[in-house]
């Protein structure tokens, strides 16, 4: 008995000690931060258990039925057909003065806006997204959609107060006094403000708004704000919502999962900071003036729909110019030189790859910002001609390509969202999903089979990783829905990023990578500087690849469609003369002669489950190792594929090259006549792993 | 069980050495192999079942892209919760019998001449309770020592305000120092466990003599441990590296390399225990208890 107690006590101590260490030690040395917004691993789902249903997102006016898109045509497979510039709808000339001591910014300037719709407008809609961080009752803060990103606690609130909003063409009257005090239908939110106009603005007419505002930047918990002396300033000015051609305003309050949507125009922004601060911003720096310990830097950029900037007094900097004349600038923390080199190299590669695939990058500059670790929430984000990356200094040495991935992902956004200005709130998959596919495509071209990682003897591909990240999630919600309709950040990231990428990679593998790239390239060139929707994308797929691909794309995006190929059974037997009575039973004849040369005949019973349909290869493998590859169009839900060979049918594999990444379950794609009982490699590796662990644990 | 020795004990070995008891070392290796098979069986079963229909077998798991590997992990991982409790029970049994094997090994190393099976069995079970407590307390000591060093060092690093690269590099160095501190706890524990079996000592006496031995010859003890621990780590890392570097390196050659690495590790561990006996005898003989 005593011995038993001693053994129990000793075991308990031995187990408790390492467990306690596992909790205590990481608290003392928090693990290095990882790059945010990496769409591969979806964030943990929201932990809302008994939480009241979130408020319904304010309803956007019902969209009139869109006509079927016009055919695009082969001309848009080349850059020559692309428009050289955007039609400017709204342009901003602003001045921003940053006070780092108080974390405030004073802004003033002008907005020049033109009514490019077909209907007179009696109101403007202004997005004041910084007010999302004003208190705990804003729409952004109270909707319990956790996960994805931005899950830190605010240490300092953020808000924006418009001081002046005077329209010159309307007698110079300051209209802010008559603007709504809160978002439509939500008195607790101030991010989506209607400004009534005293008279209608006819189609084609323009307005000039004289603007002034003050803002307090929040602590950095969701892309924008400050951490120490580091500033990432996005969605920082009163920004007009986009006016659709039919006269509807695409306005929406700031939701935790939603991003942005605005009209194209030009930006002329002067940023005033203490002289010690290095500033990176959208566009090209036209001038810099230093005076009295402050520096004023003027940045301009045309043909964009947003402007952001960063400022920090501890940036290191690297610059270079690509062969195409794009000026690259990388701002990064001290000690991250190797990371900066990787990012610039990746950007050079990406500009070339995406330029060839989706149309030349039209801007003269690109700024890459690698935030410091403590401000990692600012990373993994895109703005026109400015991207933020992130991740530890050591990542280039690990074999995991997260730094390359986040860089090329954010660069890809220059096309999908930047040049093709889709509505990120209504259809987030159009930028994040297509971009995730583009990122995987570019990385696979550079690192075939190991685009996500090459470490510890394993090669991991990004398309494969996306497949795993989105497996089974398709049952939770459709991909093609507004950001605010997702109830879980995990569903949002899995479906919008990973599922969309997996759909497109599947189409590429089945119908041809070059074909899918050509389809997306045609779509990107045709709708450069425009605002297409899902129908435009599907129409181009139909045009380039065909109706099967387009129908599969629609079903997968809108209808939560899935597919699972299964080998149900396999059988074969010797080609011998058949038994039985042949001819007149009273005078039976001889049996038909067996096939010559004699061999084996059989079949593989295969199924296609789910609404999606892709043609697949099926390998029928004989015992002698000979493989017969047949094509199954899979139009029907089940089939018996015939086999004839010199030996018995030993195994069948559907889709041996894993082209259909959407296949729900790859383990049932293969069947052997004699199943394996033990995998020798699995046995060896598992055994060694346990032995090595016991060597450290056992006395 | 009575502490009386049921059979005449073999004579005490004056120069314990692992190579003198290769049969016993082999027995310990076989035990580790069987124990590992038992613990790895669920993973092997789940993984093998998942690829049982693949014509190339488990070679598909190492194809470029790792698509099948992740699929097996995703679908096979669903059975993980169900395997939790049985695996824990198996681990507990392995640990208990590990103590028995340890005691048998030490008992055999400490005697010369033929080893009657009855003697070994009696010695193996006689002190298993004390060994269990020593082992548990030793684990706690390792965690406390290593944890203290790491926590104190981490506090110091915070105050220095280094850049991220310098901070991380310092943390790695700090972890290495913490590991050394934890290792010191493990060394003292091993010495105490050897004393318990070899000299039939109780918990307090064994700890006292172990601390006395370390106190009198810290460098000798550290060196004796290090010249065996470092090669042990090296062969295990080599075993992992060899397969890692080769990707799908097949099954036969990696198996041989892996098992050779483990066998060497078992031998080096036995060598350390024999060395521990010599150190204790020289620097903290029984008269000091």
Lowest mean per-residue pLDDT among A209-218, B12-21, B198-207: B12-21
**Ranges A55-64, A586-595, B51-60: which has the least confidence:** A55-64
Q: Which two tokens stand for residue A339?
A: 């990371």
The pTM of the full predicted model, rounded to 2 decimals, is 0.90
Q: How confident is the model at residue A140 (pLDDT cuts 50, 70, 90)?
A: very high
At A250, give phi and psi (nearest 5°).
-90, 75
- Residue A480 to residue B129: CA distance in whole angstroms: 64
pLDDT at site A690: 95
Mode of pairing for the β-strands spanning A616-622 and A649-654: antiparallel
For the beta carbon of residue A400, count every other beta carbon within 10 angstroms: 18
Chain A interface test: which of B25, B32, B36 (most A C-beta within 10 Å): B36
**If pLDDT is split at 50, 70 and 90, which confidence band does B116 have?**
confident
Residue in B30, B46, B54 to test binding to A, most A beta-carbons within 10 Å: B54
CA A253 to chain centre: 21
Residue A217 — φ and ψ, nearest 5°? -80, 140
Please tell me whether residue A216 adopts helix, strand or coil conformation. Answer: strand
Q: CB–CB of B52 and A682 under 8 A?
A: no
Quick check: A211 and A162 in contact, CB under 8 A? yes
A562 backbone dihedrals φ, ψ, rounded to 5°: -140, 175
DSSP assignment string, A417-441: TTTB---TTT-TIIIIIHHHHHHHH
**pLDDT over 70 at A38, yes or no:** no
Task: Identify whether the C-beta of residue A168 lies closer than 8 Å to the C-beta of residue A117.
Answer: no
> Is the per-residue pLDDT at B9 higher than 80?
no
Closest approach of A140 to chain B, Cα-based (Å): 32
Measure the CA–CA gap between A497 and A466, rounded to whole angstroms: 8
> Which pLDDT value is given to residue A426?
96
Q: Which of A461, A674, A688, A682 is nearest to B72 (CA)?
A: A682
Q: Which of A335, A661, A670 minimises the CB distance to B164? A: A335
**DSSP H or E stretch at residue A571:** strand A564-574
User: Residue A52: is its pLDDT beyond 90?
Assistant: no
pLDDT at A631 over 90: yes
Mutation for B interface: A674, A690, A697, most B CBs within 10 A: A690
pLDDT at residue A40 above 50?
A: no
Specify the pLDDT at position A24. Answer: 53
Q: What does the pLDDT read at residue B249?
A: 66
What is the rounded CA–CA span in Å between residue A533 and residue A502?
Answer: 20
Mean pLDDT over all residues of chain B? 89
> Does B61 contact A681 at a Cβ distance shorter than 8 Å?
yes
Residues of A whose CB is below 8 A from B36: 687, 690-691, 694
Q: What integer is the mean pLDDT of A519-544?
A: 97
- pLDDT above 70: percentage of residues in chain A: 92
Residue B168 reports pLDDT greater than 80: yes
Burial (CB count <10 Å: 0-12, 13-18, 19+), residue B28: buried
pLDDT band at A20 (very low <50, low <70, confident <90, very high): low
Output the pLDDT for position A23.
58
Distance, CA of A415 to CA of A434 (rounded, Å)? 10
- Tell which A residues from 248 to 307 touch B, by Cβ distance under 8 Å: none
Contact A464 B66 (CB under 8 A): yes
When pLDDT is cut at 50, 70 and 90, the band that residue A43 belongs to is very low
CA-to-CA dists, residue A204 to A63, A113, A197, A531, angstroms: 22, 10, 16, 19
A672 reaches B (C-beta below 8 A): yes
DSSP B54-96: -TTGGGGGGSTB-HHHHHHHHHHGGGHHHHHHHHHHHHHHHHH
Give the whole-angstrom CA distance, residue A690 versus residue A249. 62
Q: How far is B21 from chain A (nearest CA, A)?
A: 18
Q: Is A200 on the interface with B (CB under 8 A)?
A: no
Best residue in B33, B45, B48 for a mutation probing chain A (most A CBs within 10 Å): B48
Contact yes or no for A253/A182 (Cβ under 8 A): no
Residues with Cβ within 8 Å of A472's Cβ and at least 6 positions away in sequence, in order, are A664
List Cα–Cα distances, A389 to A120, A363, A383, B9, B108, in angstroms. 42, 20, 12, 70, 61
Query: A338-394, pLDDT tens digit by residue?
Result: 999 999 999 999 999 999 999 999 999 999 999 999 999 999 999 999 999 999 999
pLDDT at A101: 97
The dihedral over CA atoms of A630, A634, A636, A641, expressed in degrees to the nearest 10, equals 20
pLDDT above 90 as % of chain A: 83
Instruction: Give the mean pLDDT of chain A.
Output: 91
* Res A32 pLDDT > 50: no
- Residues A318 and A332: their CA atoms lie apart, in Å, by 9
DSSP A496: I
Q: Is the pLDDT of residue A7 over 60?
A: yes
Strand spans (E) along A248-376? 249-250, 265-274, 278-281, 284-291, 294-304, 309-312, 316-321, 327-332, 365-369
- Closest CB to A687: pick one of B37, B236, B244: B37
Which residue is listed with tokens 């919502």? A241
The C-alpha atoms of residue A234 and residue A231 are separated, in whole angstroms, by 10
| pLDDT bucket at A66, cuts 50 / 70 / 90 | low
Q: CB neighbours (10 Å) of residue A246?
A: 12
Which of 432-451 (A) contact B at CB < 8 A?
448-450
CA-to-CA distance for A127 and A117, rounded, in angstroms? 19
Phi, psi of B183 (to 5 degrees): -60, -35
- What value does the mean pLDDT take over residues B93-106? 92
Q: Characterize the bridge pairing of strands A365-369 and A386-388.
A: parallel
Asked if A456's CB is within 8 angstroms of B255's CB, the reply is no
How far is residue A611's CA from residue A552's CA, in Å, rounded to a whole number?
Answer: 9
Cβ neighbours of A653 in B, within 8 Å: 54-55
pLDDT of residue A26: 52
| pLDDT exceeds 70 at position A177 | yes
**pLDDT exceeds cutoff 50 at A39:** no
What is the residue-wise DSSP string for A595-607? PSS--EEEEEEEE
What integer pLDDT is reported at residue A21 of this predicted model? 63
pLDDT value at A684 more than 80: yes
Contact B132 A653 (CB under 8 A): no
Distances from the Cα of A536 to the Cαs of A478, A483, A531, A669, B184, in angstroms?
A: 19, 20, 10, 35, 68
Chain A residues whose CB is inside 8 A of the B68 CB are 658, 666
**C-alpha torsion angle, residues A467, A469, A475, A478 (rounded to 10):** -90
Q: Which residue has the higher pLDDT, B84 or A649?
A: A649
Summarize the confidence of residues A685-692 as an average pLDDT.
Answer: 94
Residue A27 has pLDDT above 70, yes or no: no
Q: Which residues, listed in sequence order, are joined to residue A298 by a DSSP beta bridge?
A: A270, A287
Report pLDDT for B247: 63
Distance between A577 CA and the closest CA of chain B, angstroms: 30
Q: Is A67 helix (H, G, I), strand (E, B) or coil?
A: coil
Q: Is residue B244 very low, low, confident or very high in pLDDT (cuts 50, 70, 90)? A: confident
Q: Rounded CA gap, B155 and A655, in Å?
A: 55
Q: Which residue has the tokens 């839900």?
A: A637
Contacts of B73 (CB under 8 A, 6+ apart): none
Residue A56 clears pLDDT 70, i.e. is over it: no
Confidence bin at B76 (pLDDT 50/70/90): confident
Residue B1: pLDDT above 50?
no
Q: Do A687 and B147 touch (CB under 8 A)?
A: no
Q: Does A152 touch chain B (CB under 8 A)?
A: no
Q: How far is CA A298 from the centre of its chain?
A: 32
Of B37, B92, B245, the CB nearest to A457: B245
pLDDT value, residue A62:
42
Q: Which residue has the tokens 């400022």?
A: A311
Nearest to A245 by CA among A64, A431, A419: A64
Confidence category of residue A460, pLDDT binned at 50, 70, 90 = very high
Q: Around Cβ B275, how many Cβ atoms within 10 Å?
A: 22
Could you identify the residue written with the tokens 């899950």? A151
CA-nearest of A468, A469, A414 to A438 is A414
* 3-class state of residue A323 by DSSP: coil
ipTM of the complex: 0.92
The dihedral over CA atoms of B192, B194, B195, B197, expressed in degrees to the nearest 10, equals: 120
Instruction: From A411, A284, A435, A290, select the one nearest A352 (Cα to Cα).
Output: A411
Strands lying side by side in the sheet with A649-654: A627-632, A616-622, A649-654, A670-672
The count of residues in chain B is: 289
Q: A683–B67: do the CB atoms touch at under 8 Å? A: no
Both tokens of A494, joined, read 């899995």
């Amino acid at each position: 008995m005593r011995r038993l107690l001693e053994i129990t006590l000793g075991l308990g101590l031995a187990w408790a000690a390492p467990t306690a260490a596992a909790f205590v030690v990481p608290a003392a040395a928090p693990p290095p931060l990882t790059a945010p917004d990496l769409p591969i691993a979806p964030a943990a789902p929201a932990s809302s258990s008994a939480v009241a249903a979130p408020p319904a997102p304010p309803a956007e006016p019902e969209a009139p039925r869109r006509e079927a898109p016009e055919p695009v045509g082969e001309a848009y497979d080349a850059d020559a057909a692309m428009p050289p510039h955007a039609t400017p709808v709204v342009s901003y000339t602003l001045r921003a003065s940053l006070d780092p001591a108080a974390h405030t910014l004073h802004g003033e300037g002008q907005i020049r806006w033109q009514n490019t719709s077909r209907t007179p407008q009696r109101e403007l809609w202004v997005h004041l997204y910084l007010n999302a961080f004003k208190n705990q009752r804003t729409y952004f803060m109270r909707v319990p959609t956790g996960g994805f990103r931005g899950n830190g606690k605010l240490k300092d609130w953020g808000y924006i107060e418009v001081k002046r909003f005077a329209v010159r063409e309307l007698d110079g009257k300051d209209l802010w006094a008559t603007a709504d005090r809160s978002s439509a239908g939500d008195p607790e939110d101030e991010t989506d403000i209607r400004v009534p106009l005293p008279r209608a603005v006819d189609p084609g007419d323009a307005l000039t708004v004289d603007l002034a505002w003050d803002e307090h930047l929040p602590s950095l918990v969701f892309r924008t704000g400050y951490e120490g002396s580091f500033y990432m300033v996005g969605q920082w000015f009163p920004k007009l919502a986009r006016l659709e051609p039919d006269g509807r305003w695409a306005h929406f309050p700031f939701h935790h999962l939603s991003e942005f949507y605005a009209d194209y125009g030009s930006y002329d922004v002067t940023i005033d900071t203490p002289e010690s601060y290095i500033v990176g911003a959208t566009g090209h720096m036209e001038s810099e003036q230093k005076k009295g310990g402050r520096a004023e830097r003027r940045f301009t950029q045309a043909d964009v729909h947003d402007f952001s900037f960063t400022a920090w007094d501890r940036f290191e900097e690297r610059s270079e110019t690509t062969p195409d004349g794009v000026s690259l600038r990388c701002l990064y923390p001290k000690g991250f030189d190797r990371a900066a080199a990787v990012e610039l190299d990746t950007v050079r590669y990406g500009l070339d790859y995406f330029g060839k695939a989706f149309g030349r990058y039209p801007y003269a500059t690109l700024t890459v910002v690698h935030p410091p670790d403590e401000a990692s929430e600012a990373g993994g984000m895109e703005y026109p001609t400015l991207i933020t990356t992130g991740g530890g200094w050591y990542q280039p040495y690990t074999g995991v390509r997260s730094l390359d991935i986040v860089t090329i992902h954010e660069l890809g956004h220059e096309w999908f969202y930047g040049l093709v200005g889709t509505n990120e709130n209504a259809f987030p998959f159009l930028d994040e999903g297509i971009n995730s596919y583009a990122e995987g495509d570019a990385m696979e071209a550079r690192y075939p089979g190991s685009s996500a990682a090459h470490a510890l003897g394993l090669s991991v591909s990004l398309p494969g990783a996306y497949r795993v990240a989105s497996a089974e999630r398709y049952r939770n919600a459709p991909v093609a829905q507004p950001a605010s309709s997702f109830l879980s950040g995990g569903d949002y990231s899995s479906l919008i990023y990973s599922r969309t990428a997996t759909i497109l990679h599947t189409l590429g593998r089945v119908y041809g990578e070059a074909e899918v790239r050509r389809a997306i390239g045609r779509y990107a060139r045709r709708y450069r500087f425009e605002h297409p929707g899902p129908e435009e994308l599907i129409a181009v797929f139909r045009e380039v690849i065909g109706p099967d691909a387009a129908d599969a794309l629609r079903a997968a995006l809108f209808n939560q469609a899935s597919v699972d190929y299964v080998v149900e059974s396999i059988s074969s037997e010797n080609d011998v003369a058949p038994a039985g009575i042949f001819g007149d039973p009273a005078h039976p004849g001889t049996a038909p002669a067996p096939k010559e040369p004699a061999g084996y005949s059989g079949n593989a019973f295969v199924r296609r489950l789910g609404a999606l349909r892709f043609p697949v290869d099926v390998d029928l493998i004989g015992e002698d190792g000979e493989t017969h590859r047949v094509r199954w169009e899979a139009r029907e839900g089940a089939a018996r594929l015939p086999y004839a060979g010199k030996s018995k049918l030993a195994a069948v594999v559907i889709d041996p090259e894993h082209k259909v990444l959407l296949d729900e379950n790859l383990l049932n794609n293969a069947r052997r006549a004699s199943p394996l009982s033990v995998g020798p490699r699995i046995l060896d590796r598992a055994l060694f792993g346990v032995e090595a662990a016991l060597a450290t644990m056992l006395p | 069980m009575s502490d009386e020795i049921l059979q005449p004990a073999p004579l005490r070995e004056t120069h314990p050495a692992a190579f003198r008891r290769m049969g016993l070392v082999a027995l310990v290796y076989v035990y580790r192999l069987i124990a590992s098979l038992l613990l790895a069986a669920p993973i092997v079963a789940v993984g093998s079942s998942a690829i049982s229909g693949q014509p190339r077998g488990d070679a598909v798991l190492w194809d470029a892209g790792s698509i099948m590997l992740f699929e097996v992990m995703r679908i096979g991982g669903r059975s993980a919760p169900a395997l939790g409790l049985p695996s824990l029970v198996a681990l507990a049994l392995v640990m208990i019998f590990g103590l028995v094997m340890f005691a048998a090994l030490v008992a055999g190393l400490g005697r010369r001449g033929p080893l009657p099976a009855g003697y070994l069995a009696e010695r193996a079970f006689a002190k298993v309770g004390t060994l269990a407590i020593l082992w548990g307390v030793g684990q706690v000591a390792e965690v406390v020592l290593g944890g203290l060093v790491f926590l104190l060092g981490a506090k110091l690093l915070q105050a220095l305000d280094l850049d991220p690269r310098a901070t991380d590099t310092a943390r790695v160095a700090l972890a290495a120092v913490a590991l050394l501190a934890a290792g010191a706890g493990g060394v003292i524990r091993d010495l105490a466990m050897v004393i318990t079996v070899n000299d039939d000592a109780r918990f307090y006496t064994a700890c006292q003599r172990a601390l006395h031995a370390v106190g009198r010859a810290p460098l000798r003890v550290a060196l004796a441990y290090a010249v065996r621990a470092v090669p042990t780590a090296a062969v295990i890392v080599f075993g992992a590296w060899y397969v890692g570097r080769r990707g799908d390196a097949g099954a036969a050659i990696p198996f041989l390399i892996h098992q050779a690495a483990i066998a060497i590790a078992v031998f080096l561990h036995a060598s350390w225990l024999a060395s521990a006996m010599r150190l204790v005898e020289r620097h903290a003989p029984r008269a000091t208890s």
